Amino acid sequence: MSGFFNELRIVHEAPGRMRLRGAALSDEALNGVVMESWMESLAEVRGVRLNRPAGSLIVEYSGGATGRDKVVRRLRSFSLPDTSARGDHEEREAEWTPMVTAAMGLAVLPFLNQPARRLLTFLSVGSTLLKGLDTLVNRGIKVEVLDALAVGLATVRDEHYTANITHFLLALGEYLERRTERQSDRLLRRLLRPDPALAWVERDGEVIRIPGDEVRQGEIVVVGVGERVPVDGRVVEGAALVNQAAVTGEDVPVRKEAPRRVISGSVVVEGRIRFQATQVGEDTTSARIARFIQESLDKRPHTQRLAEELADKRVYFSLGTGAAVYALTRNLTRLESVFLVDYSCALKLGTPVAFKSGMYQAAANGVLMKGGDAIEQLAAVDTMVFDKTGTLTHSELIVTDVEVLTEGGCSATELLALVASVEEHANHPVAKAVVEAARERDLEHISHGEIDYLVAHGMNADVRGGHIVIGSRHYLEEHQGIAFTDFEPLIDRLQEEGKTLLYVGNRQGPVGLIALRDTVREEASATLRRLRRLGIERLIMITGDRRQKAQVLADELGLDEVHAEMPPEDKAEVIKGLQAAGRKVAFIGDGVNDGPALATAEVGVAMPRGADIARATADVVLLDDRLGAVADAREVASRTMKLIRANFNLAVGVNTALLGGAVTGALSPVASALLHNGATIGILLNALKGVRLESTDIH
């Protein structure tokens, strides 16, 4: 291998698993978290474990020999960042060392004499004492200071069991918090890992295939039928019909030719183009998403900040209570008991762990919450605004009407069979819908001659001694001279209903119309009813469709309000209007033009097939293509906030009772430490357990 991993060697290998060793894996400059995340961004990688002291790396993968080759190439392309960072192993060691030290001290304590017990206790609790001193000097009076006072007081009074038990429980709580946070962060990064498309690039006079994230700016990229556009660029040659549903939400493919712009994530369904790459490397959407996710994970939600502030204020309360008790009783034992009961641990530990557990539970149900703020805001939402295409409806088209325009001509069934027989040679969504409609009706194939077609416009062929022309109105009228002006009322009616029209003609003139529309998601009505049960007061739809069609769908789904014939740039203004009226708004969309609305709303929710920019802008990303995941997200958010409030009240109630026992002398220092820290761990474990959904849609 070359680069940083040129010294690595595979020491053991089994199907789907390899172990590598080398001095590079022990290098202090290697950041284990970065390296593991880099490897896990490859779809074939199932797990990565770095053992720095042993200088070994275990990679589990899928995909057989092909997957193995990709893993090896991924390792070869890894390099150290410009700024080295402390490795993941050191972080983990720093987390569990105090806990293990305290546990070992407790285990050997009964077998030691008094001087040895004193020395062992000082060595064991030293990290807690030093942390308290450092906090006092650099940050002022915080919970770490109270912890150090409690442990230090027990230590100087030779209460070794109390000191070590307290130190162990504090270390255990901190370890559980960090471990849970690290695992949930890794899961979330993995769920939204970049998945760059492969790209055919012209280099040195030949066309080679490389990962899409390795395309250079200015290079010529070639994309054919069925392939995904890997990077943004501008067409320089060729013509193609491009499906941008995953990018813009448009359910009808568009024609792309020079010098039009192509967007990464769209798919070529017909034709072939060469385009020049304009956005690559760190400017790619995948790179921006990765940075956005990491930034969002580092942010602390408002509720967590309030809990930490309250916890810090409670330190003064505990210190003041202890001072008052000692002033009145001169009893150091009571003072020690008071110091060993503080509100801060449960308040500080339980809240962030509950947020992380909520994020994990949401992810398990196909929902990515980008940080605790997303949970907090989604739980407070009272209004949800849905973009129609790709959200309340599927992007797939279905045939709704077959209209014969000539008297004495073929029947509607014969017209559908004829058009489907020709369209089966095309690969765009309209053609697929027509062919599927004919297949569902079990219609026979009609023989025809060679097909001549113009990409993104239409096609024609000889059939049954005549000639048939199929395509857009523009193609039939401008290119073939077949006018449909006599049928304007019918065309207007079908278009008023929001249907896409396929025009059919022959040498004599117009023959027929085939109308298509997108389909409402099967679970849409049930999901909207469930959202109302979960406290959503208003359900609103935004669409570019004509008002009549939009109102029909709104009535069908029981929506409270509909904004029809809406230009993409005006979506955000609708959100602002609702907010001005005092509403807390969530917007659900999936296209590039949804970005401003997603950013304006208190919570932006992006559908799984949405544009990369929509996923980057959104606070919540659905990983499963089901509308029910929106209701799952709302339920997880609401239950997580209820759990946080319940844990908060429990922490305050339990510790107030314990503080009362410590003040009156009813609790000894050992009992105070055990009950307080035991309650803290219980609250932490309750937060770790997280929430469970009572009702979900079928996945």
* Pick from 200-214, 369-383, 424-438, 651-665: least confident: 651-665
Q: What percent of the chain has pLDDT over 90?
A: 18
What is the helix (H) or strand (E) element at residue 603, kind and residue range? strand 603-606
Domains in the chain: how many in total?
4
User: Can you point out the beta strands (E) in 375-438?
Assistant: 383-387, 393-404
The average pLDDT across 67-76 equals 81
Residue 126 has pLDDT above 90, yes or no: no
Question: In this structure, are 404 and 432 located in the same domain?
Answer: yes
pLDDT digits (tens, 9 = 90+) for 534-586: 999 999 999 877 787 788 888 889 999 999 887 766 888 899 999 999 999 99
Q: Tell me which of 494, 519, 544 is where a domain ends.
A: 519
Residue 2: the pLDDT is 42
Question: In this structure, are 107 and 248 located in the same domain?
Answer: no
Q: Tell me which of 54, 86, 118 is where a domain ends.
A: 86
Residue 87: the pLDDT is 41
Residue 150 has pLDDT above 90, yes or no: no
Let me know if residue 294 belongs to a domain.
no
Distance of CA 145 to the CA centre of its chain: 38
Let me know if residue 595 belongs to a domain.
yes
The average pLDDT across 631-650 equals 86
Cβ(298)–Cβ(352) below 8 Å: no
Question: In this structure, are 241 and 306 located in the same domain?
Answer: no
Question: In this structure, are 619 and 509 located in the same domain?
Answer: no
What sections of 192-264 are H helices per DSSP? 245-248
88 in catalytic set: no
Instruction: Work out the burial of residue 499: count CB atoms within 10 Å of its CB; fewer than 13 is exposed, 13-18 middle, 19 or more buried.
Output: buried
Question: What Cα–Cα distance (Å) separates residue 389 from each residue in 116, 392, 417, 643?
Answer: 73, 6, 29, 35
Let me know if residue 167 belongs to a domain.
yes
The CATH number of whichever domain residue 208 belongs to comes to 2.70.150.10
Let me know if residue 112 belongs to a domain.
yes
Catalytic residue among 232, 251, 312, 387: 387
Residue 132: the pLDDT is 81
Question: In this structure, are 405 and 494 located in the same domain?
Answer: yes
Dihedral (CA of 500, 505, 509, 513) sign = negative
Residue 68 has pLDDT above 50, yes or no: yes
The token pair that represents 509 in the structure block: 């003139």
Cβ(648)–Cβ(347) below 8 Å: yes
Query: b/e for 509-519, b at 16 or more Cβ within 10 A?
Result: ebbbbbbbbbe
| Residue 684 banded pLDDT, cuts 50, 70, 90 | low
Cβ(55)–Cβ(25) below 8 Å: yes
For residue 343, give the nearest of 381, 294, 310, 374 by alpha carbon: 310
* Pick from 72-86, 362-376, 415-429: least confident: 72-86
pTM over 0.95: no
Let me know if residue 331 belongs to a domain.
yes
Domain that holds residue 45: 3-86
The CATH number of whichever domain residue 456 belongs to comes to 3.40.1110.10
Residue at 470: amino acid letter: I
The CATH number of whichever domain residue 16 belongs to comes to 3.30.70
β pairing state of 538-542 and 383-387: parallel
- Between 611 and 96, the higher pLDDT residue: 96
Query: b/e for 82-103, b at 16 or more Cβ within 10 A?
Result: eeebebbbeebeebbebbebbb
Residue 413: the pLDDT is 93
Angstrom distance (rounded) from CA 595 to CA 614 = 5
Question: In this structure, are 402 and 488 located in the same domain?
Answer: yes
Residue 577: the pLDDT is 93
Residue 86: the pLDDT is 39
Q: Tell me which of 21, 56, 86 is where a domain ends.
A: 86
- Across the chain, mean pLDDT equals 78
- Give the three-state DSSP class for 614: helix
Residue 653 has pLDDT above 60, yes or no: yes
Residue at 105: amino acid letter: G
* Pick from 428-437, 538-547, 552-561, 645-654: least confident: 645-654
- Give the three-state DSSP class for 101: helix
Residue 84: the pLDDT is 36
Cβ(223)–Cβ(243) below 8 Å: no
* Pick from 204-218, 279-293, 476-490, 684-698: least confident: 279-293
Which residues contact residue 488 at a Cβ distance below 8 angstroms, ignoring those fewer than 6 apart?
none
Let me know if residue 591 belongs to a domain.
yes
Residue 267: the pLDDT is 82
- Between 149 and 620, the higher pLDDT residue: 620
Question: In this structure, are 415 and 272 located in the same domain?
Answer: no
Residues composing the chain: 699
| Residue 519 banded pLDDT, cuts 50, 70, 90 | confident
DSSP 345-374: HHHHHHHHHHHHHHHHHHHHTTEEE-SHHH
Question: In this structure, are 150 and 108 located in the same domain?
Answer: yes
- Angle at CA of residue 144, ends 140 and 150, nearest 5°: 115
Angstrom distance (rounded) from CA 533 to CA 590 = 25
- Give the three-state DSSP class for 621: strand
pLDDT digits (tens, 9 = 90+) for 275-297: 999 877 555 444 454 454 455 45
Question: In this structure, are 329 and 406 located in the same domain?
Answer: no
Question: In this structure, are 135 and 243 located in the same domain?
Answer: no
| Residue 612 banded pLDDT, cuts 50, 70, 90 | low
The average pLDDT across 470-489 equals 91
Question: In this structure, are 325 and 179 located in the same domain?
Answer: yes
Let me know if residue 545 belongs to a domain.
no
* Pick from 338-352, 490-504, 663-677: least confident: 338-352
β pairing state of 561-563 and 367-369: unpaired
Residue 274: the pLDDT is 93
Residue 304 has pLDDT above 80, yes or no: no
Question: In this structure, are 103 and 246 located in the same domain?
Answer: no
Let me know if residue 565 belongs to a domain.
no
